Amino acid sequence: MSDIDTADNNPDQTSEMQRKVIVSEYVSVDGVMEAPGGGEEFEHGGWTFQFDRGPEGDEFKLNELRASDALLLGRVTYEGFAAAWPSMTDEQGFADKFNSMPKYVVSTTLEEPLEWNNSTLIEENVADEVSKLKQELDGDILVNGSAQLVHTLMEHDLVDEYRLMVFPIVLGSGKRLFGDASDTTPLQLQKTKTVGSRIIILTYQPAREEAEE
């Protein structure tokens, strides 16, 4: 059940005027977002596997992906996804959408060619390139993982919405989604929803008007 509902919670509803950069993350109660599905050298890697997000959680992620026109990823997250997703299939079409949609990877160190279908490298002028994508694409631009990229987007006020799937666990160490920042970032809580094993989905938007005042 949703405790707060100040806006439409259906990620499918995206018009030309609503193109958004969506930062969607799995986080622990203490804000850690590192290696939720494993695949990285992190002592708690795969920490989400002990919880079940349930049918509602699955539906939320599927609707979110359907409403998205592209993925925007940092190098580490991109390489992890590119190693896993091309061989996956599922009845809901999640894998098909993930593999077929445009993917933009932000990196100055990526050396291997981008072999994952529909992948484009962004090496410089990240803020300008993302701003262009927001004008050119038809749906949301979805960001998963990619801590360093998220911090860059925040610094340039390019994140339009944060969707945090908060798992009931304290990890005590690891990369945190909101690390050291150069300034404060006021947010407005738009929605809350509890799914599966008491996992809470929190949807925030930047409080830009309040910040200006």
pLDDT value, residue 185? 85
Closest to 174 (Cα-Cα) out of 64, 28, 63: 28
pLDDT value, residue 93? 87
How many domains in the chain? 1
pLDDT by residue, tens only, the chain of 213 residues: 444 443 444 544 444 455 899 999 999 999 999 999 887 788 998 999 999 999 999 999 999 999 999 999 999 999 999 999 999 988 788 899 999 999 999 999 987 778 899 999 999 999 999 999 999 998 899 999 999 999 999 999 999 999 999 999 999 999 999 877 667 889 999 999 999 999 999 999 999 765 444
Parent domain of 41: 2-212
pLDDT value, residue 105? 97
pLDDT value, residue 18? 54
pLDDT value, residue 208? 73
The CATH number of residue 182's host domain is 3.40.430.10
pTM of the model: 0.88
